Structure 1
Amino acid sequence: MIDPSLTTPFLVASAVPVDAPHRSGTLEAARALLASQPALTEHSVYAAAVTGNAPLVRQWLQHDPTLATTHGGPHHWDPLTWCCFSRWLRDEPSRHAEFVEVARVLLEAGAPANTGFMDHTHGETPQRESALYGAAGVAFCAPLTALLLAHGADPNDEEVPYHAAEQYAHDVVAALLAAPVPLTRDSLATMLLRAADWHDDTGVALLLQHGVLPDHPGRWPHSPFVQAVRRDNEARIVERMLEAGADPQRRFGEVTALELAAWHGRTDLLQRFAERGVPLPDEGLAAVAVDVTLGDAHAARARLSRDTMVREAFLDRTAAFACRAAGNGMLAPLGVLLQWLPTVDARWAEGDGYWDIAPHSTPLHVAAWRAQHAVVRLLIEAGADVHTRDGRGRTPLQRAVAACVDSYWTDRRQPESVRALLEAGASAEGIALPTGYDAIDALLARRTSRTG
């Protein structure tokens, strides 16, 4: 006997959240309810669909074929929407084949591939969430994505291209690129831009091989190529886009990729642009940024001495400039900027939310967090304060430890920055052991034993 009071909570717990990010939450509540009432999956076609039970879905449709298109349950979704926005589908990839079979049964019974629901949590304008988005951009299930596309699902909404390029789901991207309903130029631009957001070299290569244009902005204010530079992508990703025809001098609003590269201290990118014959700015503020990034202190000083307005504008940007260069591990621009900064601990007022760099961070905070070990040593040698805190109260040592245990840039997870900061007298206060990184735990333990 099913407790009817549990059916609604079970469906809600089994679906992705509709009032929070769809990737948030766990199956803990759904599993607990199912453990207490195993028959909950049998209560309705919606419960069968959301839990990936194809035999039960068939039984319900044999009893009433109209259920394939009937909306119900607490969210008033049809069964295919319950299937594609299932938290079980999202969190148990080993069961993807079961959900593909549920979707196949429903589609063959007449369920529309372009079904979905209206999300009213995004302000005054409701946003449509398609079943394809659930499959491709929430669960990242390539077989389910391909099945929906084969039945005519349209990938050209705002959600599918934006989210499907996340999480390095290259099989999902490949399925979308092969869709019978082709992706538009704007959708492709969104996917390439998002691949740049994720620093996804393989994804970028896959999209460029398909013919996606790196200079086409689509519905965005700038191009995927500009985004790759804005997000400090690795030089090989930028190089791929250059080979695909990207123009470093093409202006989007007030910005070009070339100027961004200069202000981010990307010596490596400016050198590549120059090798390709791209003219570098030779006047104004952009030319000063280029000189600094190429490490030419003499040329920068000469330009600044000739133009008071340019000099003032440059000095206003030195803190952010130094922090961006520090985050990119670029020693040449930092060597020049240290001559102009009012202090080596100059504060980046805004910070950068994309990189989780708090307002009022110093170059040392940024270098420690982004695991730029040579820059950390340079800044310490230049007298940087190893005890200072950023706008969220975090020390450079705390950021260096976090970089090794809680960052995406796993290829740079080494204890060098932690060692350098401890040797410079940094306090380990606020860092709990174990951190999850044995070499760092050993360094911190020795520091604690000496000061304890």
Structure 2
Amino acid sequence: MTDLSLEGLRHAAKRLQHAFEAGEGWAFERVKQRPPRKTFETLQRADFLQIIAQEHGFASWPKLKLAAETTGLDRATAQQRLKVALFHGQTAIVAALLEQTPDLADGLFGLQCALYDRAAIEKALARNPGLAVQSFGPRRPILHLAFSRWISARPELEADMLAVAEMLLAHGADVNDGFAAQPGDDHLLSALYGAIGHADNMVLGRWLLAHGANPNDGESLYHATELGHHEGLKMLLAAGADPKGTNALLRAMDFHDHTAVQMLIDHGARVDDFNAEEVGGEAPFVMPALHQAARRGSDDRMIAILLDAGADPSAHYKGASAYGFARVHGNQALSRAIEARGAAVPLTPEEELMARSADGQASPGQYINPAKLPEAYQHLIREILHLPGRLPQIERLVALGLPYDQPDAQGITPVQIAGWEGLPEVMAYFMKLRPDLSHVNGYGGTLLSTILHGSENNPERAERDHIACFRLALEAGVALPEAVIRNAGREDVSAFLQDWAIRMPGQVV
């Protein structure tokens, strides 16, 4: 493991630079995850120091150096780890850090808010009322409070949490405060989204709405459909959230949530909610409901809800009819429903071949030119790989010539999605096709960090096998960064990665 001293970290930066300049794959992968602002050809020592600092939770090397000189690097690193663990709901890590160092958050106002430390907040505000509106990192205190997932581990602190919220509000905090997920982003993630959509903290969400939080913040309604319950959705709709123009209904369909879909429709959601700038009958950004039903494998009940609400069986999306989309995705329930309404249309030759694949039929000797596919089908393999029993269909599509390593709009490749989903059988198939295992997606994620994220955030993670996906990647020789080991929030994942690092020290970078 890296020597956590300034000299040790300088040595790590020097080693990274030399490996990068020598063309080592693991070094290039780490640089791609946190690309400096310069081109790769002009990187200097300072750029590699910056990467090392970011890997340890600091925005820059000067901030890491200042923390080391004023707090001590071990303590400063632990504080950064505590901040990340609170944000990501890694409650076991939070508890372990606080057990080891009970005063770890002392003097750090943002962290004290995230821990609902009522007494400390009261004393700090008495000394300096301006702390309530001061930025600590990228977020102000009410955002540290709202995005903290500590309530899931310490529900008995509910009264303290609300008292902290009241104190912040009394000292000028804005319940509609937000922060940019990425520097320069115009769209802000609100405190309400943090409480309801991110932290599943219905108590704080209700408090924010009662104190004037805007339910139409562009995030909360959408993410309230992901929680596995309807409390947040009911709360937002009762407060005046308007589902028109959002993707909330389509997101509820991802989870086959008939109740949520009906609730949204009852509150004004339009099943074919095209973007205002639609061109030639195509929706450039919002998918018609029946197309979503096709690709998500919706059942008869969901299809009936959509059709009763006015879904158009003749709608087109990015070059694909609803009927063609249903046939290509193998949704027989939807295909039958469209045929029953007399809205079936002839399939293109490419759709015929893809529909045969969905129906379980191979087409030996026949191929599809991916360049001729409408945009709607460009990422077909990526869209179906998480659905149960689709691997044979994927194999037939690959045999037809569909790309199996093509990044989607977020830069995520199918093998990364399979890892995020925790589907080792599907991931193993893609790995046999020799995809680019060093690819870094649009979120800065590698294969291993994407699996790690899925192990803690995928809604189906309890039924999936992310450890088997880690094993596949590591057995293929993918380098194991210390940061992945350090950031593992699940105890079983952490234990597996640490054990691998002990057995295969040469693979750790």
Q: Do residues 231 (structure 1) and 299 (structure 2) align?
A: no
Mind listing any 5+ residue stretches in structure 2 that lack a counterpart? 1-68, 277-283, 438-450, 465-474, 477-491, 493-509
Q: Which has the higher contact order (CA 8 A, sep 6+)?
A: 2
CA pair 34-296 structure 1, distance change in 2 beyond 3 A: closer
Task: Letter of the 1:79 partner, please give it.
Answer: P
1:165 is matched with which residue?
Answer: 225
1:3-402 matches, cutoff 5 A: 5=71, 12-16=80-84, 23=88, 28=93, 31-33=96-98, 35-38=100-103, 40-41=105-106, 43=107, 45-61=109-125, 63=126, 66-67=129-130, 69-72=132-135, 74-75=136-137, 77-89=139-151, 92=154, 95-96=157-158, 98-119=160-181, 121=182, 124-179=184-239, 182-183=241-242, 185-186=244-245, 189-218=246-275, 221-223=285-287, 225=289, 226-275=291-340, 277-282=341-346, 284-285=348-349, 288=352, 292=356, 348-350=402-404, 357-358=414-415, 369=426, 389-391=432-434
Asked if 2 retains the 8 angstrom alpha-carbon contact of 1:267 and 1:294, the reply is no
CA pair 49-367 structure 1, distance change in 2 beyond 3 A: closer
In 1: Cα distance, 2:102 partner to 2:237 partner: 42
CA pair 228-104 structure 1, distance change in 2 beyond 3 A: farther
In 1: Cα distance, 2:304 partner to 2:461 partner: 22
Deviation at 1:98, TM superposition (A): 3.8
1:376 is matched with which residue?
Answer: none
Secondary structure (helix, strand or coil) at the match of 1:185 reads: coil
State the identity %: 23
In 2: Cα distance, 1:344 partner to 1:16 partner: 40
In 1: Cα distance, 2:381 partner to 2:177 partner: 50
CA pair 143-411 structure 1, distance change in 2 beyond 3 A: closer
Asked if 2 retains the 8 angstrom alpha-carbon contact of 1:80 and 1:131, the reply is yes
For 1:273-295, what per-residue CA distance to the aligned partner results, in whole angstroms no more than 9, with x for missing partners? 223x1421136448847985897
Moved more, 240-249 or 29-38: 29-38
In 2: Cα distance, 1:52 partner to 1:211 partner: 37
Residues paired across the two proteins, number: 360
Task: Letter of the 1:244 partner, please give it.
Answer: A
In 1: Cα distance, 2:314 partner to 2:353 partner: 15
Deviation at 1:352, TM superposition (A): 8.1
TM-score, structure 1 normalization? 0.60
In 1: Cα distance, 2:379 partner to 2:140 partner: 51
Asked if 1 retains the 8 angstrom alpha-carbon contact of 2:381 and 2:404, the reply is no
CA pair 328-68 structure 1, distance change in 2 beyond 3 A: closer
Mind listing any 5+ residue stretches in structure 1 that lack a counterpart? 302-309, 371-385, 395-401, 414-429, 437-452
For 1:372-418, what per-residue CA distance to the aligned partner results, in whole angstroms no more than 9, with x for missing partners? xxxxxxxxxxxxxx999344599xxxxxxx9xxx89779999xxxxx
Task: Letter of the 1:150 partner, please give it.
Answer: A
Asked if 1 retains the 8 angstrom alpha-carbon contact of 2:367 and 2:401, the reply is no
CA pair 242-356 structure 1, distance change in 2 beyond 3 A: farther
Deviation at 1:177, TM superposition (A): 1.1
Asked if 2 retains the 8 angstrom alpha-carbon contact of 1:10 and 1:40, the reply is no
For 1:81-133, what per-residue CA distance to the aligned partner results, in whole angstroms no more than 9, with x for missing partners? 221122524665664554234223433554321123344x35x5454222112
1:417-428 matches, cutoff 5 A: none
For 1:166-203, what per-residue CA distance to the aligned partner results, in whole angstroms no more than 9, with x for missing partners? 23242122211112x543622xx321122233444443
CA pair 69-218 structure 1, distance change in 2 beyond 3 A: farther
Deviation at 1:368, TM superposition (A): 6.0
TM-score, structure 2 normalization? 0.54
Across the aligned residues of Structure 1 and Structure 2, the Cα RMSD in angstroms comes to 5.3
In 2: Cα distance, 1:411 partner to 1:38 partner: 33
